[in-house]
Amino acid sequence: MCGIVGYIGAQSAASVVLHGLRQLEYRGYDSAGMAVINSDGALHVRREAGKLINLAQLLDQEPLQGQVGVGHTRWATHGPPCQRNAHPHRSVDGKLVVVQNGIVENFTELRQQLQLDGYTFHSDTDTEVIVHLIHRYYHNGSAGNLVNAVQRTLHDLKGPSAIVVLSQDAPDQLIAARLGNAGGVAIGQGEGEMFIASDIPAILRHTRQITFLENRQMAVITAQGAHYMDLEGSPLAKQSIQIEWNPLAAEKGEFRHFMQKEIYEQGRSLTDTLRGRLDFQQQRVMLDSLNLTDDQLRTLDKVTIVACGTSYYAGLVGKYLIEQVARLPVEVDYASEFRYRQPVVKPSHLVVAITQSGETVDTLAALEEARAHGALTVAIVNAVGSQAARVCDGLIYMQAGPEIGVASTKAFTASVTDLFLLAIYLGQARGTLDDARRAELIQAVAALPGLAGELLENAWQGNLYKDLAERFYQYRNFLYLGRGINFPIALEGALKLKEISYIHAEGYAAGEMKHGPIALIDQEMPTLVIAPRDSVYGKMISQIEQVKARGGLVLAVAHAADETIKAKADVVLPIPISHELLTPILAVMPLQILAYEIALRRGVDVDQPRNLAKSVTVE
């Protein structure tokens, strides 16, 4: 997914845009570019392939002056990452530029039509058709009305698109627009200046007053403010949101990577996740933002969880939590599958979307599918004001603060904690929880941030994970095994290693080993086993013995004082003792740290692993 930043006001547009792009680089980093109208009224463009640092170095050599501009970091969808394909894309007369996040699904036919009209293309991208369409309408049919030319162009486009347009003929304005679920367009209000960004961290240091564009909406932005309208030009009255995030939260601080920071701040982020949601007097969970009555919750006969990637694995943990605590059947589905398999969805179902960014296109499409069938929908989401947060009946914010690292860590543990709270909340409404059980669960989750902090502090102070990285960073395959509520943690641990160290890793239900995967075991395939003292502990002990009997290496996530495991496993990754239903939240942390340290030892750019982006807003 790409990153967009726009600025108009009294500051240097180039410096505001470049800083903003740096905050968004996690979204995509194949190439980057910027356009500024300088003081003599001319439009200048700078573009470079590769990471943002390349553009910054070009700007040092060839600076851009001016107070209105737009920039873009690219995650390539059409055309290889190179300077020619970097945004902004420019009109044939050089007076107009466009940056885009999304996909023009009908770009082939539009490109052919424009070529027949005499337009020459200089890139392989779908985006370039947009700037030529605007140019064509601007000069033929819109009588020099740029806003109308943009509206007519947007009507021609198929597929999700978020665009920003800057024209030399209108140097006192930027035009922003959003089609479908193309990733956010946040418009920030300053004093005599305005900001545009794909994501809040890019402009949080300048303003907390944010207005979000929704599907088929656009804005004409000057230094004084923004005028909102639909694609027919009808004015829209839109409310801004006051963002409470601390701007520093979107900075690395003393950490080496955002991922490292976000792993080690989970004690604090879990405190924030629980904030305002535990009533210790009544021993109850409070989830007012769910916006669903007890009657609505009592009529439910099924919960379906839809998500992608790490958020999907959080959903798998949610299945165990909700079924055990609220006694409601739960189905968990990849959003990318759910949206196309003609699922059976009824008004008596609750569909829960888990999405850190709130902009994942498959998850948003799955929500649309659920709503089309009349189901109640809830989003467990981190990004305030994101699309998922706006389209659901109810909300549970992760309250984890901005998560910048591409590999999701604190959002995962926040999601699972939110699912734990939701399970209790459903149990409260449906009467499946007696007072004693409810109090037990409330006390257990209240202790969670402290346990997480203890685990992370011990890891930070010791060398265990650096030593393990040194020992294991050259292995080419890993197997992760979990059982019961920790089976999804095996899947998540394997994904962490895969996506940031590029080592193949497979998560498996431990009980499935004897049905095939045990054939893989040898000295070259280390096995990570998640074995807290829970209801399936005995099974995991025999699992360890089966792997050891075949000469396999075993690294076990286990309670620090577990002498049995210490005697059987080659390595113990220690976690503190907690309530069984909360072990997944603690057990994932050693796996996050191990993946991080191995990736570091392999020299991977941990915050920007190859081929990935923080939020996938294109199919």
| Residues of the shown chain interacting with ligand AGP in the complex, contacts defined by CB under 6 A | 308-311, 355-357, 360, 363, 406-408, 499, 615-616
Q: How far is the CB of 92 from ligand AGP (least distance, A)?
A: 37
Q: How far is the CB of 309 from ligand AGP (least distance, A)?
A: 2
CA distances from 11 to 87, 238, 297, 449 (A): 22, 26, 51, 42
By beta-carbon proximity to ligand AGP, the closer residue of 183 and 574 is: 183
Provide CB contacts within 8 A for 47, sequence distance 6+: 31, 32, 33, 34, 55, 83, 86, 87, 88
Distance CA 36, CA 17 (A): 10
CA distances from 207 to 12, 151, 195, 404, 540 (A): 16, 28, 8, 19, 51
How many CB atoms sit inside 10 A of residue 174's CB? 27
By beta-carbon proximity to ligand AGP, the closer residue of 27 and 90 is: 27
Active site residue 568: no
Contact between residue 167 and residue 156 where contact means Cβ atoms under 8 Å apart? no
Q: How far is the CB of 587 from ligand AGP (least distance, A)?
A: 16
**DSSP codes joined into one string, 279-291:** ETTTTEE--GGG-
Instruction: Locate the DSSP E strands across 282-329.
Output: 284-285, 302-307
**Residues 410, 496, 568, 614: which is the catalytic one?**
614
By beta-carbon proximity to ligand AGP, the closer residue of 48 and 499 is: 499
Residue 471, amino acid: R
Distance CA 147, CA 76 (A): 28
By beta-carbon proximity to ligand AGP, the closer residue of 134 and 588 is: 588
Q: How far is the CB of 474 from ligand AGP (least distance, A)?
A: 23
Q: Tell me the HSE value of 553 on the side-chain side, using a 13 A CA sphere.
A: 13
Q: Is 134 exposed, middle or buried (0-12, 13-18, 19+ CB in 10 A)?
A: buried
**Residues 2, 392, 496, 498: which is the catalytic one?**
2
By beta-carbon proximity to ligand AGP, the closer residue of 110 and 381 is: 381
DSSP state, 541?
H
Q: Which of 194, 148, 181, 190 is nearest to 167 (CA)?
A: 148
Active site residue 566: no
> What dihedral angle (degrees, nearest 10) is formed by the CA atoms of 164, 168, 170, 174?
20
By beta-carbon proximity to ligand AGP, the closer residue of 152 and 178 is: 178
What angle is formed at CA 248 by the lines to CA 247 and CA 249, rounded to 5 degrees? 90
Catalytic positions are: 2, 614
